[in-house]
Structure 1
Amino acid sequence: MPCGTWEAIHIVDGLLNNDSTIDPDTIHADTQGQSLPVFGLAALLGFDLLPRIRNWADLNFYRPDAAAGYTHIDSLFGDDVIDWDLVKRHWQDLMRTTISIREGAVSSVTLLRRLGNHSRKNRLYRAFRELGRAIRTITLLRFLNDPQLREQITAITNKAEGFHKFSDWIMIGGVLGHNDPDVHERIVKFNELAANCAIYSSALDITDAANQLAAEGHPVDFDDLATVTPYLTHTIRRMGDLVLDLAEPEQPQTRLDLEPKVLFRAGA
């Protein structure tokens, strides 16, 4: 991604190119990971876009029709009405485009770039935007109505922020001193590799410590354990010796061997 690019146009491709065994159906992002056309496209692709939006209270809530009124929340809605006729008229175009993206015939990045703000007269853009207005309004109402959803969005995005902060800390030098994008990509990949190795090592240490406490008869509470982060910095000698040991390592203990009443309840 070039600097200054609106992240929303890249967010769907990341999920479509996923080749892991995990099949995600939810997208979390910050403000730049969403826009009205992206809400519409994500919904057609079967993804639930749940971003943490800055100043979301300033966003428009769109009415389903001009006569719609609500007893308690009508003040949230302005005078803007969703143009369902536009969505219906271009529904086949929307589905063809979505299937083309799903099958890899066209990149969502390419499409969303073409459906940018400079293409407001583009009928396909207007149709995606109109559908996105409906989906985003529903999402904002869900956000208002469900405290657990608000906590989920905040917790997930904070995890991402925590990882970025840890990666920044572990990066030696901290300056991209070259204009070659290939060099930039290598630096970012090596930095994330080092960060993931450190996080994995810390997670193993936390696992060993919890298992040791349980073996000694001390109760290990799930809520207490959930507060322990693997983004530890005080245990890492950032400027110490970096040793590459190619010897076959011992199989690490990755399972928490706690009492059934704590984490692994009977039948769980």
Structure 2
Amino acid sequence: MKGRSQYLTDAPLRRRVTAATNKVESFNHFSQWVGFGNQGVIADIDPVGQEKAMKFNAVFTNVVISHNAPDIAGIVRQLLEEGWEIDPEDLAHVSPYLTDHINRFGEYSTHELCIRPEAYKTKPDADLTLLREQDPAATGFGQAA
């Protein structure tokens, strides 16, 4: 029971635990956002398939975080070059779990749909009369291999 009473009476400990819990919950929410297919439900009954789906989601989540972190660092660097003062304590509140700039479904252009293909040419542009005039036996046509 000492742990519970210490948690209840120690405000700094509660703040640290709450901050850590919030970080984990933010990551879980972000990971669920990344793995949006089937609303996060793994439909595979096979444990191997479930593990593959979870690992894929973890890898893909880390890829998105690895994309966001350098972008954040670049923005901070740019702000510092422009003369802004940035407090390191403020940066402690910046999260790499950003989603607004990501289009999960991709961008598909539809303006090409109105372009009509050219009419099919039934006659080729090449002159095939030379082939028709040649003796097939002389050029190897009609001979067994």
Q: TM-score range by the shorter chain?
A: 0.5 to 0.7
| Structure 2 equivalent of residue 215 of structure 1 | 81
Match of 1:178 among 31, 44, 56: 44
Shift, 1:147, TM fit: 0.7
Q: For residues 1-268 of structure 1, what are the structure 2 equivalents within 5 Å?
A: 137-173=1-37, 174-240=40-106
Deviations 1:15-46 (A, max 9, x none): xxxxxxxxxxxxxxxxxxxxxxxxxxxxxxxx
Q: Aligned letter for 1:146?
A: D
Measured on the aligned residues, the alpha-carbon RMSD in Å equals 1.5
Q: Distance in 1 between matches of 2:16 and 2:88?
A: 18
Q: Aligned letter for 1:193?
A: V
TM-score (norm 1): 0.37
Q: Aligned letter for 1:176?
A: I
Taking every aligned residue pair, what percent have the same amino acid on both sides? Answer: 42
Shift, 1:201, TM fit: 1.4
Shift, 1:175, TM fit: 2.8
Q: Distance in 2 between matches of 1:183 and 1:153?
A: 34
Question: Which of these two proteins has the greater Rg computed from alpha carbons?
Answer: 2
Shift, 1:236, TM fit: 1.1
Q: Distance in 2 between matches of 1:172 and 1:239?
A: 10
SS at match of 2:95: coil
| Structure 1 equivalent of residue 129 of structure 2 | none
Q: Relative to total residues, which structure has the larger strand share, 1 or 2? A: 1
Q: Aligned letter for 2:52?
A: R
Q: Distance in 1 between matches of 2:24 and 2:93?
A: 16
Q: Distance in 2 between matches of 1:148 and 1:155?
A: 11
Deviations 1:216-250 (A, max 9, x none): 21101223222221111101121227xxxxxxxxx
Q: Distance in 1 between matches of 2:52 and 2:35?
A: 13
Q: Distance in 2 between matches of 1:191 and 1:234?
A: 19
Count of paired positions:
105
Deviations 1:159-207 (A, max 9, x none): 1111111111111413312200100000001101111111121111111
Q: Aligned letter for 2:56?
A: F
Q: Distance in 2 between matches of 1:171 and 1:236?
A: 13
Q: Relative to total residues, which structure has the larger helix share, 1 or 2? A: 2
TM-score (norm 2): 0.67
Unpaired runs of 5+ in structure 2?
108-145
Q: Aligned letter for 1:165?
A: H
Q: Aligned letter for 2:17?
A: I
Q: Distance in 2 between matches of 1:182 and 1:164?
A: 22
